[in-house]
Amino acid sequence: MAYGIIRVRNLSAGDLKLTEIHNARKYEQMGMKLPDNIDPQRCRDGEHFHESAGDKTISEGVNKYLQLYGITPRKNSVVALEYVVALSGNPKEKEKMNRDPNMLVQFLDDASDWISKRHGNNLVSFSLHGDESNLHAHIVVLPVVEKKVRWKNQKGEGERVENRLCARDYTGGPDLLRKLQDEFHQFVEPYGAKMGVKFYRGTKKEEQLKEYTKKTSHELGLLRQKLDLAKTEAEAKAVKLEIEAKKAEFEIKQGKDGRIVEKHREQQKKDDKWKKGLGFKRGF
């Protein structure tokens, strides 16, 4: 099965330098060892550019936007978001995707435009990497939003609109991240017809757990039937070992995924509290 892949992470000011080193491939320039997963001999396509020709680094691009919007970020606040986008599938599907390299590169360019528009065209940099196992792109944008801010002083009180850095509006909780995956899948689908590949939406964590539970219960049922039909003690013993192994595997998987789902739920509760106004004064 083929999938469109999109990941996003928050970047503080302290993250920008390392992000620049990786995205612009400045390892040797900085006297650093090239990571093992990067193979220059494999590079078929590659480029790195900043939205403004005058910006030499990602940090300069971010600072340009901050000055433009009149924003002074707080210490350790999220100043940018970095998205990574790619297409993936089994060997036959990858062969179809790579049949027209220009189409794949065009998809990544279009994905960059799609992400940029979601962020008010606050694109900082775009990096195309073909020297790793899968052709992909890194897109850095600013999470700037307009916020209504209440004010009060000796002259009166009221509201005004300010530009704020607000990564939470894009990455704050499972619902927003799930919405990102849903919308990205809708964006990816039309490219399947052009490439001769059908793209699927990845299964949600909650659904993965339900499907795995259903599948494992079915497998255990078949093993129990097999145990009932065992003709010798040795055969029955072997089946019992299979059942115990399957139960142990199920418990480990259920515990791991259950904790992930529970963590998502806890985060959602925190976000719901924030939405009720607990974080209003901070504006984040």
From 161, 182, 200, the end of a domain falls on 200
For strands 199-200 and 136-141, give the pairing.
Answer: unpaired
State whether 138 and 257 are in the same domain: no
Distance CA 201, CA 87 (A): 12
Residues 42 and 158 in one domain: yes
| Residue 24, domain member (yes or no) | yes
| 178 and 246 belong to one structural domain | no
How confident is residue 210, by pLDDT bands cut at 50, 70 and 90? low
Mean pLDDT lowest among 65-69, 166-170, 223-227:
223-227
Give the pLDDT score at 44: 54
Residue 6 CB-density burial (10 A; 0-12 exposed, 13-18 middle, 19+ buried): buried
Q: Do 133 and 270 belong together in one domain?
A: no
pLDDT computed for residue 115 by the predictor: 95
pTM exceeds 0.75 for this model: no
- Domain of residue 143: give its range: 2-200
- In this predicted structure, the answer to whether residue 76 has a pLDDT above a threshold of 90 is no
Give me the mean pLDDT over the 199-220 stretch. Answer: 60
pLDDT at 161: 79
Instruction: Classify residue 73 by its DSSP letter.
Output: P
Q: In this structure, are 219 and 194 located in the same domain?
A: no
124 and 224, same domain (yes or no) = no
Residue that is last in its domain, among 182, 200, 218: 200
Average pLDDT, the chain: 78
H or E element that contains 195: helix 174-195
Give the model confidence (pLDDT) of 224-245 as tens digits.
Answer: 777 778 788 888 888 888 888 8
Query: What is the total count of domains within the chain?
Result: 2
Q: Are residues 212 and 179 in the same domain?
A: no
Instruction: Please check whether residue 72 lies inside any domain of the structure.
Output: yes
pLDDT reading at 193 higher than 90: no
Q: Are residues 170 and 52 in the same domain?
A: yes
283 inside domain: no
Q: Is residue 239 part of a domain?
A: yes
